[in-house]
Every structure is written in structure tokens, then in C-alpha cells.
Amino acid sequence: MLPVPYWMATRVKFLLLSVVVLTWAAPAAAQGPGVRGGVSVDPDQVYVGGHYETSALVDRLHFKPNIEVGLGDDLVTTALNMEFVYKFPTRSAWRLYAGGGPAITFYSWDDDGRGRGDDSETEGGLNFLFGVEHQD
């Protein structure tokens, strides 16, 4: 049996975990707590987290703070996002939304291969988002 290269084994695990996360869905709620998940490209990670959506602050603008933890690519990413979401009016059960807000991201990785031990970094940023949700 031929040995499987490390990069190939990592990509296969990432793909399998991505399929599991993407097929696990929860209904969208108008307000309250919720679960979120997905995949990222750079770094190659699967992430899970939670959010809390407030009722409309003004018109159709909601506050939706959340926390996400990303795993993969020999890195752990923890993001705290303070997002505001505007929900566009529609006549159907599907609704478009867009928003954004400030974020702080904590990165942690293992540098044992270089003889330096564990390392970490913290960065600030700004998120922009858009999506579609189904109203129950």
C-alpha cells in the first residue's frame, strides 16, 4: 500500500467535514439564538458558531452578534463579529439580507515543526455579508 501524502489526507478530511456541516441545516428564526456553520477558503477551514439576533432596532435593521470557531489547515481561528443586518422586504417566504460590522479574530497554531512551540496572533477587521433566508 502506498503512503498517502499529508496534504491529500488533510484535504479529504476537510472535504468530508465540509459535506457534513453543509448538509446539517437549521431553520432561520426571526429573532433569538441560532447556529451557524460553513467553510472558508483561505485558510482551508470548517467553522461552527452561534449568534443572537435582536428584533428590529429600526425599520428592518437587526443586530446579530456572533462567535465562530474555525478548524483546519493546522490553525484554530476564533472570530467575534458584531454585525448589523438589513432584511429587504419581499412578498415571498424567501428574504434577502445584507449587512456588516466590526470583528476581532484570534489565530492560534502549533509551530513545533520549527522548534518554537505554539504561537498566536490577534487582528481586527470589518465584515460585509449578504444572504438569503426562509421565513417560517
Residue 77 near residue 109 (C-beta atoms within 8 A)? no
Q: How far is CA 24 from CA 35, 79, 98, 99, 129, in A?
A: 10, 21, 23, 24, 21
Tell me the pLDDT tens digit for each residue of 10-68: 555 555 555 555 445 444 456 899 998 999 888 899 999 999 999 999 999 999 999 99
Residue 118 pLDDT greater than 90, yes or no: no
Quick one: pLDDT at residue 73? Answer: 87
Whether this model's pTM surpasses 0.75? no
Higher pLDDT, 71 or 2: 71
Q: Strands 75-87 and 94-110, how do they pair?
A: antiparallel
Tell me the pLDDT tens digit for each residue of 73-100: 889 999 999 999 999 999 999 999 999 9
Distance CA 78, CA 84 (A): 19
Query: How is residue 106 written as a grid cell?
Result: 484570534
Higher pLDDT, 118 or 21: 118
Higher pLDDT, 109 or 23: 109
Query: How is residue 39 written as a grid cell?
Result: 467553510
Residue 119 pLDDT greater than 80, yes or no: yes
Could you tell me the pLDDT band of residue 2, with boundaries at 50, 70 and 90? very low
Quick one: pLDDT at residue 59? Answer: 92
